[in-house]
Amino acid sequence: MNHNPILCAIDTAEMPRARSLIEALSSAVGGVKLGLEFFAAHGPEGVRLAAGNQANVFLDLKLHDIPNTVAGAVRAALALDPLFVTLHCAGGAAMMRAAVAARDDRRTRLLGVTVLTSLDDSDLAATGQNGPAEAQVQRLALLAKSAGLDGVVCSPQEVAMLRQSCGKDFLLVVPGIRPAGAALGDQKRVQTPRAAIAAGADYLVIGRPITEAPDPVAAARAILAEIA
Ligand code: C5P
């Protein structure tokens, strides 16, 4: 692996905390993830302010709307030159193709969100989706690939399956990572950084094991050492 695969999830709406974490971690991680909580509170200007010198920002916006609207949102987000932007695969092939066209030749990679891990098979059935969840994840990832998306966000349990079905160049970005012995928090099905990379993950999204460690920089470096 010739890049630092750790993307630190900065899950806070507090600007001072986001800024200080991102600044401290700048040389220890490959990028940072800012999601809807932060974006709803601070908007694009807030992202610029918090990111500072960190060039690799994963904007986890989980876009899902008609193609024209999602294309417009992607175009607007490009002003921030993010490393990744997310959109829901369930928005359909035309929506994903419109996002890819809007991205044009910029470096930003577009990642699909398949089935939220908060949903189980009965939730899928209640929303008229064919389960089991694993089959739906596979279906949506293949749809994303055929629509031109660069990859998907997936759980540690799905990495090996999607690496097999979507090929070696499809980006697999994986949350639910816990170093051996770390607190699980609300994560139930986790994998260690080393196991996730071995299964085929390109990037690891890691939040609390870094952000809530007494020394976040040391925690990030220890995880990197575990992978190397
Ligand atoms: O603190 P922790 O390492 O659990 O943070 C993981 C990050 O990845 C959070 O931002 C969480 O919202 C996100 N995520 C996840 N599971 C998914 C999708 C995203 O934990 N299936």
Task: Assess contact for 159 and 165: CB atoms under 8 A.
Answer: no
Q: Average pLDDT per run of 10 along the chain, which is 228 residues long?
A: 93 96 97 96 98 96 98 98 98 98 98 93 93 95 98 96 98 94 84 96 98 97 94
176 lines ligand 1 (CB under 6 A): yes
Question: Rounded to the nearest 10 degrees, how much is the dihedral formed by the CA atoms of 149, 30, 175, 62?
Answer: -40
pLDDT of residue 185: 87
Ligand 1 atom 10 nearest Cα: 9
Tell which residue, 55, 60, 23, has the closest CA to residue 38.
60
185 lines ligand 1 (CB under 6 A): yes
User: Is 62 an active-site residue?
Assistant: yes
CA distance linking residue 125 with residue 104, whole number of Å: 36
What is the CA(66)–ligand 1 centre distance, in A?
Answer: 26
pLDDT of residue 124: 93
pLDDT of residue 173: 98
Tell me the pTM: 0.96
CA angle 155, 157, 160 (to 5 degrees): 105
Element (H, E) at 84: strand 84-88
Best mutation site among 6, 10, 11 for ligand 1 pocket (most ligand atoms within 8 Å of CB): 11
205 lines ligand 1 (CB under 6 A): yes
| Ligand 1 atom with least separation from CA of 211 | 1
Annotate 131-152 with b (16+ C-beta within 10 A) or e (fewer).
eebeebbbebbbbbbebebbbb
What is the CA(107)–ligand 1 centre distance, in A?
Answer: 24
Best mutation site among 59, 205, 223 for ligand 1 pocket (most ligand atoms within 8 Å of CB): 205
What are the helix and strand counts (H, E) for the chain? Answer: 10, 8
100 lines ligand 1 (CB under 6 A): no
